[in-house]
A and B are shown apart, each in its own frame.
Chain A
Amino acid sequence: MTTQTTESTGAPANKDNAPKGLIGLPENVGRALATIGGALTVVSTFLAWTWTSAFPGDLTVYGYPGGLQVLVLIGGALTTLFGLASYGVKGLRWLAPAGADGAIKLAATGTFATTWYTVIAISDELGGVVNLEPGGYIAAAVTLAAFLGAFSLPFERPEDEPVDEDATVGERIGHIWRHIVALLKSAVFTPTPAPARKLPAYAEILVIVAAMAVGLTVFTYGIGTEYDELFVGFLITVGFLFAAFSKAGLVARVSAITGRHSTITMSGAFIAAALFPFTQSNDQYATIGVYILIFATVALGLNIVVGLAGLLDLGYVAFLGVGAYTAAMVSGSPSSPFDLHLPFWLSALLGAAVAMVFGVLIGAPTLRLRGDYLAIVTLGFGEIFRITVLNMDGTSGPDITNGSNGISSIPNLDILGFDFGLEHSILGFTIGRFANYFLLMLLITLIVVVVFKRSSDSRIGRAWIAIREDETAALAMGINGFRVKLIAFALGASLAGLAGAVQAHVTYTVTPEQYQFAHVVPPNSAFLLAAVVLGGMGTIAGPLVGAALLYLIPAKLQFLGDYQLFAFGVTLVLLMRFRPEGLIPNRRRQLEFHEEAEAPAVLSKTGV
C-alpha cells in the first residue's frame, strides 16, 4: 500500500512470527481507524465535555476548546498527521523519517490517556458519569478507537524464549514481564533513519528556530498551567508526544542539525533566555527562572565531574554551600562573623576559590578510589559539610556559621551603582529584583557552558573521557590519572562555588538545610545527579533541561504531598529502564547503552 507498509510486511517471516498487531484488526482498517479517530478527536474537542464550569478549565463551551481539551486537540491532530504520513501523503514524510507506525501508536496512546484521564477526573470530581456531556462520550469513544486502530498496526514480534520447566513462580513472573516489555518495545520499534540530506544553511537555522520556539512554547505552557489536572494532562501528553517524535526520528534529525550549528543554537538559546524577563509583567516567573538557572548551572558543573571524567560525586551540593557561605560571610551581612563587604566580583571569585580548595582537599585523598568507593566517600563529605556548618554555632563549636539559623539578611548586590534589590525600568520594561538576578545568573550559566564546552574539546577533556572509558589504558597512554581527575573535581567544585556566590544573594539567607543530600526542594545532591542523568550525561543541554524539569515537576506536583519523593523515585526508575542515556543523549553514551542498535559509523563532533 505504501512504502512503510511494504517494508514492515514484506520481510519474509515464518508463520508464528508473521508481523501482526497487538489487536486483531486488519492492518488497513487499523490504520484508517487511527487516522480518522485522530481527526474525530480534534472535532470532539470543539464540543462541550461537561455541563458545569465547576471542573477547572471550562470545558462547557461549544466551538472553543479549553484547558485539557487543547492538549487532546494537539494529540489528536498529531495522530492524524502521523497517520497521513504513514499513507505516504506528500509533504508530510518529513514528520516521520524513521517510519510513522511507532509514532502513531505513541501519539494515539498519549491522546487516549489524556482524554480518559480528563473524563475520569470529571466523573470523579463532580460525582458520576452523568456530568459528562455528549462531547465527553464522543471524545472517549473516538480516542479509544484511534488507540485500538493504532495497536492493530503490524510489527515484528520479538522471539519468545521458552520457559524453563522447573522455573519458580518468581522466575515465571519475571519471564512474563520481560516478554511484555520486549513486546511493547518492539511494538513501537522503528529502525534508525537514514541520515538526512543537508538542507541549505538558512533552512537549517529556520529549523533550529522553529524547534526552539516549540520547546519554549511547551515549556512556558508547562510553567503556566494553573491547576493540577491540567499539569497532569500536560505531562501525559508531552511525555507521549515526545516519545512519538523520538520514534518518528524527528528528534534525531533536529539534534543532528543543532549539532551542526551548535554555536548558533547556543547563542539563540541564550538570547531567548535573556529576553525572557522583558516579556514578564511581574517577578513571578523570573523567580522560578533564577532558581532553575542556579540548579541548572550547578548540574552542569557536576556534569564535568560525572559526565566527562566519570567520577560519581554524591556530595556535590556541598561545594555550592561552600561558595554560598563564603560569599555570605564577606557580603556585609550583620550575622557574619567578619565585618567585610567585598564587591561582588571579588566575593564570587573568593567563593569559587574556596570551593576549589575544598574540592582539592576532598579530592586528594579520595580520588585514588574508584567507582562505588568514591561515591560513598563523597556522600559522606556532603553530610560532613552540612553537620559541621550546623555545629559551628558558638555552643557546639566555634562561632562562625551561626548554626541552624544560618547567615541571614545578606544585602542585595550593588554592581557599579546598579542595585539588584530595586526595580529598574529598562527601555520601558520593568525589571524586578529576581529578574535582575536572573540576568546575572544567566551570565554565570554562560560562563559555565563555555568552560564545559572548551574543556571537553581539548587535551584535558580527552584525557577525562579516556579515564572514564578505561582507566588502565589511559594510564598506559601516559595520562596522570590522579592529577587529571583532581583537575576535574576542582574545576567542578569551583563552578559550583561560583553559582553559590550568586545563590546566597538571591535567597537572602544561607542555612545548612539548603545543602542536604536528598530533599524535596532542589538543588540537593540527589536532584543534581538526577538532573545530569535524566538530561543526558556529558552534554550541555542535558543537565539544563533535566534541571528545569526536576525543578518544575515537583513544584507543580505539590498536591501529591508525601508521595512526591515516591513519585519522583518511580519516574527515575522508569526512565532508567527505558531511556538510560537520558532525554538528550550524548551520542557516545547512547551507543554505550544500546549495544544492539545499529551504531552510526561516523561520529563527527566531540560528544557535545
Chain B
Amino acid sequence: MTDTTTVTGTTVLDARGVTMRFGGLTAVRNVDLQVNSGEIVGLIGPNGAGKTTFFNCLTGLYIPTEGEVRYKGNVLPPKSFKVTAAGIARTFQNIRLFANMTVLENVLVGRHTRTKEGLWSALLRGPGFHKAEAASRERAMELLEFVGLANKAEHLARNLPYGEQRKLEIARALASEPGLLLLDEPTAGMNPQETRATEELVFAIRDKGIAVLVIEHDMRFIFNLCDRVAVLVQGEKLVEGDSATVQGDERVVAAYLGEPFEGTPGDEEVAEVEAAEAGTPSDATPGKENDR
C-alpha cells in the first residue's frame, strides 16, 4: 500500500526552521517540513513532543517565534481564518464541531470562505442569494455523500456517534476547498473498523488532489497510510523518511521506549516490541490489533 508513491508534484507546504517558544519553554525547535501535492505525510512522536504546537503554527493559531511557513510559495498570514482562506484546513485533536448545529449547517459553515454573500445580500434576498445558497447546499451535500453522512444531514452534530463526528469534522474542513488538509489524531478513540474506514477516507481525499498531513499515535495506521513520516521528539525533528526507514531507526524506538541498558530485564521486551513493529505492515491478521 505504501508503495503507491504517486507522482510527487510541487511543494504545497514548506515550513523552514519553525521554532515556537512559550516564555522559557521551547515547544518546537527548528523544524523543517515539506509536503508535496498528492502526498500523505505523517507526523509522529511521543506525547508532549510538540506535534500539535507545530500544527498550530501551520494554521495561524500560533505565530512561530522563528522561521517561516509557506503555502504554495506564499508566506502564511498570521490569522487562522486567513490561513483557511489561503487553502489549509484542519481538524482538531478533541473534536470541535458546532454541537448544536445540524450536520448540514456544520458543513455550510465550512463553506464560509468560499462564499461571499454578506449581510445586505441576506436581508434583500435577491436571486444571487438564493443561487449561492442553493449552490452551497449542493456542495455541502456532495461532501456529506463523500464521507457517508448524507442521510444524517438534518441531525444535530452532537447526536452523532463518535466516529461520525470525526468524519463530519473532516467534511467540514473539506468544505473550505483546501489544498492541504491537516488531521490531528483522526483515529483517536476509534475501533479498528472505524480506523480502517478513516484510512480509506484519507486515501480518497488524497485522490482528490488534496495533500494530507496527519498526526497520529496509531502506528499501523500511519505506516499503512503515509508516503513519508516525520518523527518529532522533544520539539525537534529526529528522522524523516518512508515507513521502513522510520521503523528501522533505533533512535525512534529509543524515543518511544527509552534507551536500552545492557543486560537490563527490559531489554528482552524492547527487542520483542521491535520485532513486532517490524512485522506489523505485512501482518494483516485482524485479531492482532495495534495496542499503541
Q: Quick one: which of A588-608 are within 8 Å of B by CB?
A: 588-589, 591-592, 599, 601-604, 606
Q: Does A217 contact B (CB under 8 A)?
A: no
Q: Which of A450, A473, A588, A599 has the most CB of B within 10 A?
A: A473
Q: Is the CB–CB distance between B108 and A462 below 8 Å?
A: yes
> CB distance B98 to A473 under 8 Å?
yes
B100 part of interface (Cβ distance < 8 Å)? yes
Residues on the B chain within 8 Å of A478, using CB: 81, 84-85, 110, 112-113, 176
- Of B59, B109, B115, chain A has the most CB atoms within 10 Å of the CB of B109
Is A284 interfacial (CB-CB < 8 Å)?
no
Contact (Cβ within 8 A) B81 A475: yes
Q: Kindly list chain A residues whose C-beta atoms are within 8 Å of the C-beta of B102.
A: 603
Query: Is B33 in the interface zone, CB < 8 Å from A?
Result: no
- CA separation between A462 and B133, bound complex, in Å? 12
What residue of chain A has the Cβ atom nearest to residue B157's Cβ? A469
Point out the residues of chain A lying under 8 angstroms from B172, CB to CB.
477
Give complex CA distance A325, B63 in Å. Answer: 45
Contact of A588 with B100 at beta-carbon distance under 8 Å, contacts A458-B122, A476-B59 already known: yes
Q: Are A479 and B81 in contact (CB under 8 A)?
A: yes
Is the Cβ of B117 less than 8 Å from the Cβ of A462?
no
Q: Check B109–A466 contact: CB distance below 8 A.
A: yes
* A451 lies within 8 A of chain B by Cβ: yes
CB of A479 within 8 A of CB of B109, answer yes
For window 73-131 of chain B, which residues contact chain A by CB distance below 8 Å? 79-81, 84-85, 89-90, 92, 96-102, 105, 108-113, 115, 117-119, 121-123, 125, 129
Q: Are B115 and A459 in contact (CB under 8 A)?
A: yes
Any chain A CB within 8 A of the CB of B72? Answer: no
Q: B155-203: which residues lie under 8 A (CB-CB) from chain A?
A: 155-156, 158-159, 172-173, 176
Asked whether, in the complex, the Cβ of B101 is within 8 Å of the Cβ of A459, the reply is no
Which positions 455-509 of chain A face chain B at CB distance < 8 Å? 455, 457-463, 465-466, 469-470, 472-481, 487, 491
B100 interface neighbour in A480, A592, A602, Cβ under 8 Å = A592
B154 contacts A455, CB within 8 Å?
A: no
Query: Once the chains are docked, how many angstroms separate the CA of A256 from the CA of B176?
Result: 34
Q: Which residues of B contact A470 (CB under 8 A)?
A: 96-99
Across the interface, which residues of B come within 8 angstroms of A591, CB to CB?
Answer: 100, 156, 158
Write out the residue numbers on chain A whose beta carbons fall within 8 Å of the beta carbon of B110: 477-478
* Contact status of A477 and B159, CB under 8 A, knowing A459-B117, A470-B98, A603-B102: no
Please report the C-alpha to C-alpha distance between residue A600 and residue B139 in the assembled complex, in whole angstroms. 26
- B198-234: CB near A (< 8 Å → 1, else 0) gives 0000000000000000000000000000000000000
Expressed in whole angstroms, the Cα–Cα distance for A491 and B118 within the complex equals 12
Q: CB-CB < 8 A to A370: which residues of B? A: none
Inter-chain contacts of B136 with A (CB < 8 A):
459
Asked whether any CB of chain A lies closer than 8 Å to the CB of B273, the reply is: no
User: Which of B85, B113, B133 is close to A458, meaning CB atoms less than 8 Å apart?
Assistant: B133
- Report which of A487, A589, A602 forms a contact with B155, defined as CB distance below 8 A: A602
* Contact of B61 (CB < 8 Å), options: A469, A476, A592: A476
Residues of A in contact (CB 8 Å), total: 37
> In chain B, what residue has the closest Cβ to A595?
B158
Which residue of B is nearest A451, CB measured? B123
B156→A599 contact, CB < 8 A: yes
User: Which residues of A lie under 8 Å from residue B61 when comparing CB positions?
Assistant: 472, 475-476
Q: How far is the CB of B121 from chain A (nearest CB, A)?
A: 8
Say whether B98 contacts A472, CB under 8 Å.
Answer: no
User: Which residue, of B59, B105, B176, has the highest number of chain A Cβ atoms within 10 A?
Assistant: B105
Chain B interface (Cβ < 8 Å from any Cβ of A): 59, 61, 79-81, 84-85, 89-90, 92, 96-102, 105, 108-113, 115, 117-119, 121-123, 125, 129, 132-133, 136, 154-156, 158-159, 172-173, 176
Residues of A with Cβ closer than 8 Å to B?
Answer: 450-451, 454-455, 457-463, 465-466, 469-470, 472-481, 487, 491, 588-589, 591-592, 599, 601-604, 606
26 inter-chain pairs at a CB distance below 8 angstroms, sorted by A residue, are A451-B123, A458-B122, A458-B133, A459-B115, A459-B122, A460-B119, A460-B122, A463-B109, A465-B98, A465-B101, A465-B105, A466-B98, A472-B96, A473-B92, A473-B97, A475-B61, A476-B84, A478-B84, A478-B113, A479-B112, A491-B119, A588-B156, A601-B155, A601-B159, A603-B155, A603-B156
